[in-house]
Structure 1
Amino acid sequence: MLECDIKQFFHKDNQTIVEWHFKNKMNKGKVEEFDGISLIIWTADNKIKALKEFGCNCNNYNPYKEGETPLFRDEKVNWF
């Protein structure tokens, strides 16, 4: 793992939402980097009851930047 940074988190009652950034280097040298959000549900004794994680490509864009018709990039979608 090259980076794992918590950007912010919100906690209320038995739920926590964490925004994070992750970067790692695979065995063959490929570097992966993405942003994500984790939704954590806690039990009454503070153990994780449920965990959902969502990933987002760091290289995002606005497909409506040039007008009302969206222009999408032709690129490979990440594994998540």
Structure 2
Amino acid sequence: MRQREEIIKAWLDMWLGQELLPLEAVFTPDVHYYEFQGREYEGIDQIRRWFETWNSENRVVKWEVGRFVHDQDLTLVPFYFQNVNKEGEKREYEGVYLVEWDGDHRIQKLQEFYCKLPHYKPYA
């Protein structure tokens, strides 16, 4: 399980450092990646293109993970995310990754779910 946690952390570190390392160690060639906004990326080439395009307009400021919850070939990862775009606009949210692994500890499917911040209490 530790190896899986290190792979997820390496993926987040790529975003924090805006440096894409070899994706073949992280993802299967036919990976499916679902962003919370509804975008879907299929395969390493699409993930690479998304990474390069997104980082040309934005910068990740923080990406902190909580605990990892493992169950056979699944991992749940709560996280906090914050970014800023070229215009200086900040965005932050709390989210959860649902990660499915292959037999070689590579990500074959990743789904993002999130809650926009700041939270507010409409009935307080």
TM-score, normalised via structure 1 length: 0.73
How far 1:60 moved relative to its partner?
Answer: 2.0
Residue 53 of structure 1, aligned match among 86, 92, 112: 112
Structure 2 stretches of 5 or more lacking a match?
1-59
Q: Which is richer in helix?
A: 2
How far 1:61 moved relative to its partner?
Answer: 3.2
> Are residue 43 (structure 1) and residue 97 (structure 2) matched?
no
Q: Percent identity?
A: 29
Structure 1 stretches of 5 or more lacking a match?
67-80
| Alpha-carbon separation, structure 1, partners of 2:61 and 2:111 | 23
Aligned residue number for residue 12 of structure 1: 71
TM-score, normalised via structure 2 length: 0.48
Query: Which has the larger Rg?
Result: 1
What RMSD over aligned residues (CA atoms) do the two structures have, in Å? 1.3
Superposed, 1:15-26 pairs within 5 Å as: 15-26=74-85
Residue 92 of structure 2, aligned match among 17, 33, 39: 33
Tell me the number of residue pairs that the alignment of Structure 1 and Structure 2 aligns: 65
